[in-house]
Structure 1
Amino acid sequence: MRFLVRCGAVMGSLWLLSAGGAALNVRVLVASAPQLTVRLPVAPAAPAGPLSAPLPSTLAPAPLPTQTWTVGAAGGGLTLNGQPTGNASLYLPPAPGQTVEIAGKTYRGGVQVRVQSGGVQGINVVDVEDYLRAVVPAEMPASWPPAALAAQAVVARTYVAARLNPAAPYDTCATESCQVYPGLSAEKPQTDAAVNATRAQVVAYGGRAASTYFSSDSGGFTASSAEVWGTDLPYLGAKTDPFSAGGPRARWRLEVPLSRVQAAAEQYGARGALRGVTISKLSASGRPTELTLTAAGGTLKLGGAKAGGFVRALGAPGTRLTLGGLSPLVMEGSGSGHGVGLSQYGALGMAKAGYTHLHVLGFYYPSTSLGTLTASDRAAPVLAQGPALPGLDLLAATPGAPQ
C-alpha cells in the first residue's frame, strides 16, 4: 500500500465522498488502543510485457498477499513497525471489493489511523451500503421476514446519515453506544437483500434525516422521546403498539434482593437504610418519570432519565413496569429497551401480519416521509424528501389487515 509504505497520505480532513464522487462513505471508529495491527492487501505489480493468457474459469483466483503493519504513537506522530512517520494521521481510501483488517477484524473499504491521547484510533472508511451489510444482521436476526429486515435497514441507514459530520474525526462507533458493526464476518444473504432492496432510503422529517431511535420491544406501548430524554420530537410520541406482543420480554418479573436495591439507591444519593421505593409519577406510556426513595436519611426523588437508570441498574430489561415490596423489591413489566421509536419485535409482528417495511416505518415514525440519500460534490450528503410514509389507523390495524 503506497501511502503507508511512503507515509505520504497525511489527512487534514476526510471527505465523505470517494475519489470518484460516486460513493457515500461513513467513518466508523472500530478500534482504539496504545497500538493497532493493520493488515492490507498488496496489489500485484502490473506486468512489464504483454498479458498472458487468462486462467481457465474453473480455477479460482489466488488470494492477494497481505502486508501487516503495527501502528503505534510516539511524540505526537504515528509509527509503523516502530519507525516514525512524521504524520499524525494516515489514510488508505476505500476501493471496490477492497477489505482491510483492523485489530483482528476484517472490514470492507479503507482505513484511517490517527493519533489520539497518546494512542491510536483505527477508523474504517466504508461505503454506507457496505456498512449496513454488517450492521443490519448485528441488530436484527437475519432469519426474520424481509419486511422487518428492510425496515431495520432503513432505520440503520437513517441513524448513521444523521451523524455524518466531516468536521469530526469520525462519524460513528462500532458498539452498542452507536450501532453494532462487527465487520465482514456478520454479513448474511438475507440482510444483504434487505439493504439492496432499500438502497439509499431514509426516514426524513423537515428535509433532514429523522432521529430513528429503536429498541427491542416496546412492551405494547411506545415511549415518547420527551419522557425518556427530555426532547420532544413530533414523530416520536407515546402510543399503543398492538404489534409488540410476541417477544421473549413481552412480560417479565424480577425479585431484587434488598441488598442490591440498597446499593443502587446509595449510588443515586440515598442516605441510610432504605425504607421504600415507589413510583410517584408515571408517563402516558406507563413508564416512571419520577421515583421516590425513602431512606433513614431522608427522601430522595429521581426524575427523568435517572428514574429509568435506577430500575435498569436493578436489572430491569425495560422501564414499563410496576414496583412492589422492598425485601425483595418486585418489578413486573413488559418490553425491553427504552421503547422510543421502532420496536423490533413490533416490526416482526407487522411483517408476519403482511405489512410492508414502509408501513412499519410509517407506524413507528408517524408524520415522516421516505427520503433518498445521495452523494454530492460537497462534503455532506444530499437528502431528497419523497412521499409521506403510510400511516395506520390503530382501530383497523389488526393482524391480517394491511392497509
Structure 2
Amino acid sequence: MSASLKRKSCSAIIFVSIFFISPIKAIAAKEPIMRVLISNENKARFRADRVENIFVHGISSNHRKIKSLNLVYKNNKVKYSINNNLNEWFELPNNFHLIIRNSDKRGIWFKNRRYAGELRVLLNDKKLNIINHVKLEKYLQSVVGSEMPKEFPLSALQAQAIAARTYALKLLDKNKLFDIHSTQASQVYLGLESETVKINRAVRSTNSLALFYKNELIDAVFHSSSGGRTENSGQVWKYQLPYLKSVIDYDQNSIKYRWKNKFTSAELGKIFSDLGGVNGIQIIDKSDTGRVLKIRLHGKNGNRIISGKKLRERLQLNSTKFEVDLKFNQINLDNKLNFDNKIIDDFPPQSLPPIPVNYFLFVEGYGAGHGVGMSQWGAKSMAERGSSFRQILKHYYSGVQIKTYY
C-alpha cells in the first residue's frame, strides 16, 4: 500500500473513498433507542420527582408542564386528569399518542419506579401501552442490575451486559409498537432503581460490544443456573443453533442448584382438575442432560401426556431437570401405587388407585431456567476463578466472536 500512495492518482482514489465512506460509518455508529413495553393495563399514573415538572405532549397543542398525570381507560374512552385533581377529567381521542419527558436525571415516576428517557402512551387492543424510549446503553444499566445480583464479580457483570446487549439488538425494530418486554418474557428491566456504580462500570467498559456467529448477531439467551450442564437449544426450542450447544456448567454454588417441592393430593386436584387430580406420574423421555421432555399423568378422569415444560409451568418449578416421587410419612409407596419415576417405553398405562388425602408428590430438581446459553451462576463462578468476560462468553456460546456493533 505504501508504494501505491506515491502515485497521485491512487492518492485521489483513496481520498474520495474516505470522503464517501465516513458519513456512512457515522450513521452506523449512532446508539440505538430501545422501545421497552413496561405496562399494558387500563390505568396509569405518572409524576415528577419532587419539585420538578414533567412535560406532556399530546394533551394540548403545546407541551404542558405538570406535576402528575392520571390516565384511565373505561367504557371505550380514555380520560386524563392533571396534578391529582380527580374531580376534573378530560377525554382523549382513541388515536392519541402521549409523550412524557423531563430534564431530571432522577427520571419519571411510573408506579413505584423511575425511568430515564421518555415514556410514550397509546391505546392498543383496549389497553394502555406504556412504552419507555431509552438509549440502549442506559437501558442496559438497568437490565444488568435487574437480571444479575450487583454483588457478582465485574467480569460476570460484563458478560451479562454483552449478552443482554446482543439480545436487545437482535429484537430491535422487529415489531411495530415496541422492541422488547420489560419482564422475563424478554429480559427484566426495572428502571433506574436497578443501577449501581459497579453495574454502570460493567456496561460502560463493554460499550457497543455484542456477540456474533458468522457475522450475524446471535440469540444470546441466558438463564440463572443449569444444574451442572447447559442444554442444547434444539431440546428446548424448535431449532438447534450451532452456538447454543450443551457445555459443562460451574453453577454448583447457585442458590437454586438443587431444590425440592412438595404437593399434596388436594393441591394436585386443583392444579389438574381436568384430570380429576393425579394418582400417578411416569417420565417418558429425557434429554441427554437429564431434563424431562415428556411425562404421562394418570388421573381419575383419564391419562394425558404433556411436555416437561408444561408440567414446569403448571407446578411452577424452577426447571425441567427433575425427578418425581410419591411418599407418605417418608415411606416410599411407589410399588403399592404402581408409580414409576423412570423413563419408560410407550406402553398403555394401567389404571391406578386414588391417592389418599395424606399422600404427597415430591419433586427434586436442579437449576433454574431453561438451561440454554449462559448460566449466570456459572459465569459468577468462572469470574471468581479469574476468567475474563471474553472467556466466560466463549465458553457458554460456542464459536462466537465478540466485536463492536455501533
Shorter-chain TM band: 0.7 to 0.9
SS at 1:199's partner residue? coil
Pair 1:194 & 2:195 matched: no
Q: Which amino acid aligns with 1:320?
A: K
**Shift of residue 142 of structure 1?**
0.7
Shifted more, 284-293 versus 306-315: the winner is 306-315
Distance in 2 between residues matched to 1:43 and 1:279, nearest whole Å: 56
Matches within 5 A, 1:183-222: 183-222=191-230
Change (3 A) 1:119 1:300: closer
Q: 1:344 aligns with which of 361, 370, 376?
A: 376
Identity across the alignment (%): 27
Shifted more, 204-213 versus 76-85: the winner is 76-85
Distance in 2 between residues matched to 1:324 and 1:73, nearest whole Å: 49
Aligned to 2:265: 258
8 Å contact from structure 2 (residues 168, 180) kept in 1 = yes
**Shift of residue 27 of structure 1?**
0.9
Distance in 2 between residues matched to 1:95 and 1:21, nearest whole Å: 25
Change (3 A) 1:357 1:281: same
Distance in 2 between residues matched to 1:344 and 1:249, nearest whole Å: 12
Q: Which amino acid aligns with 1:239?
A: V
Q: Deviations over 1:169-218 (max 9, x none)?
A: 11112222222211112210110000001111111224332111111110
SS at 1:301's partner residue? strand
Pair 1:358 & 2:390 matched: yes
Aligned to 1:108: 116
Q: Which segments of 5 or more consecutive residues in structure 2 lack a partner in the other structure? A: 1-26, 56-64, 83-88, 328-358
Q: 2:255 aligns with which of 244, 248, 255?
A: 248
Higher helix content, 1 or 2: 2
**Shift of residue 167 of structure 1?**
4.7
SS at 1:185's partner residue? helix
**Shift of residue 312 of structure 1?**
4.5
Distance in 2 between residues matched to 1:221 and 1:159, nearest whole Å: 22
Change (3 A) 1:318 1:119: closer
Q: Deviations over 1:333-381 (max 9, x none)?
A: 221121111111100110011111111111111122213222xxxxxxx
8 Å contact from structure 1 (residues 31, 103) kept in 2 = no
Distance in 2 between residues matched to 1:110 and 1:322, nearest whole Å: 47
SS at 2:178's partner residue? coil
Pair 1:278 & 2:310 matched: no
Aligned to 1:314: 315
Distance in 1 between residues matched to 2:236 and 2:177, nearest whole Å: 29
Distance in 2 between residues matched to 1:262 and 1:225, nearest whole Å: 33
Q: Deviations over 1:127-171 (max 9, x none)?
A: 010011111111111111001111111111111111111651111
Change (3 A) 1:296 1:98: closer
Aligned to 1:27: 35
Shifted more, 278-287 versus 245-254: the winner is 245-254
Pair 1:141 & 2:145 matched: no
Q: Which segments of 5 or more consecutive residues in structure 1 lack a partner in the other structure? A: 1-18, 45-64, 375-403
Shifted more, 285-294 versus 159-168: the winner is 159-168
Change (3 A) 1:296 1:137: same
| CA-based RMSD | 3.0
SS at 1:124's partner residue? strand
